[in-house]
Amino acid sequence: MRCFVPFAVEAPKSRLAPVLTPGERRSFATAMLCDVLDALDTAGIAATVLSTAPITDDRVTDRAAVTVDDRALTTAVNARLAEETPTLIVMADLPLVEPADIQELLASEAAISMAPGLGGGTNALAVREPRFRVDYHGASYLDHRRAAADLGATVGTVDSRRLATDIDEPEDLAEVLIHGTGAAHDWLADAGFELDTTGGRVGIQRDG
Amino acid sequence: MRCFVPFAVEAPKSRLAPVLTPGERRSFATAMLCDVLDALDTAGIAATVLSTAPITDDRVTDRAAVTVDDRALTTAVNARLAEETPTLIVMADLPLVEPADIQELLASEAAISMAPGLGGGTNALAVREPRFRVDYHGASYLDHRRAAADLGATVGTVDSRRLATDIDEPEDLAEVLIHGTGAAHDWLADAGFELDTTGGRVGIQRDG
């Protein structure tokens, strides 16, 4: 299935500012993108990065084609859906995703199959209904369910912790340290991050 | 499979104090327990509530047997594991759990099958290895993996967003409002909680 991974080149992952510099955020966001592209590749999907600007980082260009569309996320994705379906849209900040999770999305026979993110987002979406359009603002999972219902399109939901775990906040980094095995995990380890299990809840700390 | 659901009768869910009174926290915790018991029942599991004190609330006593053990969580669970295996341990604060998630835990052939929670906890655990003991402090998922490895026991991981979503903090309530369909969802709705989608991230608000 045709697949796009949206990626914001400028100032990505602003909510990680308390723990990472702007340059580090760009590099870490790219590492997460690499994990997503690797999972898609192993699942047999040749993905295209739908980027807000040209990408020169060979970690990305070695892995996937890049299409530049500098419009807002929702607009850029809807332009791709208008071109052709079925189309798979997978967010770039899912470093825990594994090929089996992608296969589960592809195996669904629903017109719209979705993997909800924590907090009501839509982390991955396989669209087989040509009239369906996304709206990523707010609780997009609920909005997408309603939009599908308005079209009389069937909806399937993939129940996956790995697909649900988008990395936005400093506390989310603990999930990558606990469960990650790829580029994003290694990036954090190289940057000196480790789990802090001294308190009641698991957090992160950074050395040196 | 024999199954226990640990439940703290006194002062449960203290991290929900910013949004719920002590009495409300007890009632809401009981509603979540009911959802867990209902999912287990539909999955064919007759669960026993492993409670820190006697329970008189007929929402619980109508649904399950209750065993009282006022020791710490880890100690009380290990006493049950020492009695008999296989034994299934499911946390009481998983109101999104569905029967299929329980079936997936039961279907695993691993000596220890686990559903990790967000933040490194262990939300559900099917123990088929008689020598295995739990330790719920800190990043228990990693500790349990190590403990299984030390015994030469195989480990399986169930990748489920619903099993991963334990409800501890006020922001977690949004997950119940978005995805819940049972007693905990209805409790929150009756208490006036609704989704707040006015900001960038989905939150909760309470009317009246």
Q: Measured between CB atoms, which of B118, B159, B160 is closest to A175?
A: B118
Residues 6 or more apart whose Cβ sits within 8 Å of residue B50: B4, B5, B6, B7, B67, B69, B76, B77, B80
In terms of CATH architecture, what is B2-164?
A: Alpha-Beta Complex (3.90)
Pairing of strands A2-7, A87-90: parallel
Which of A139, A150, A12, A132 shows the shortest CA–CA distance to A80?
A132
Size of interface A-B (CB pairs under 8 A): 70
Residue B67: in which H helix or E strand, if any? strand B65-68
Q: What ipTM goes with this model?
A: 0.93
Supply the angle between the helices B22-42 and B99-107 in degrees, to the nearest 10.
Answer: 60
User: Which amino acid appears at position B130 of this protein?
Assistant: P
What's the rounded mean pLDDT across residues B134-142?
93
Helix, strand, coil percentages for chain B (3-state, nearest 5) = 40, 20, 40
The residue among A98, A145, A159 with the most chain B CBs within 10 A of its CB, best to mutate, is A159
- % of residues, chain B, pLDDT over 90: 91
Tokens representing A106 are 């592809």
> Does B202 contact A164 at a Cβ distance shorter than 8 Å?
no
A91's tokens: 């967010």
Across the interface, of B139, B165, B197, the residue whose CB is closest to A139 is: B197
- Residue B203, pLDDT > 90, answer no
- Where are the domains positioned within chain A? 2-168
Would you write out chain A's pLDDT as a tens digit for each of its 208 residues? 999 999 999 889 999 999 999 999 999 999 999 999 999 999 999 999 999 999 999 999 999 999 999 999 999 999 999 999 999 999 999 999 999 999 999 999 999 999 999 999 999 999 999 999 999 988 899 999 999 999 999 999 999 999 999 999 999 999 999 999 999 999 999 999 999 987 656 788 988 5
Chain B residues near residue A202 by CB distance under 8 angstroms: 119-120, 138-139
Q: Which two tokens stand for residue B190?
A: 């009756």
Give B197 or A185, the one with higher predicted confidence. Answer: A185
The CATH number corresponding to A2-168 among 3.40.47.10, 3.90.550.10, 3.30.67.10, 3.90.1300.10 equals 3.90.550.10
Contacts of B172 in chain A (CB under 8 A): none
What is the pLDDT averaged over residues B27-36? 98
Residue B24 binned pLDDT confidence (cut-offs 50, 70, 90): very high
What distance, in Å, lies between the first and last C-alpha atoms of chain B? 44
pLDDT of residue B208: 58
CB neighbourhood size of B88 (10 A): 23
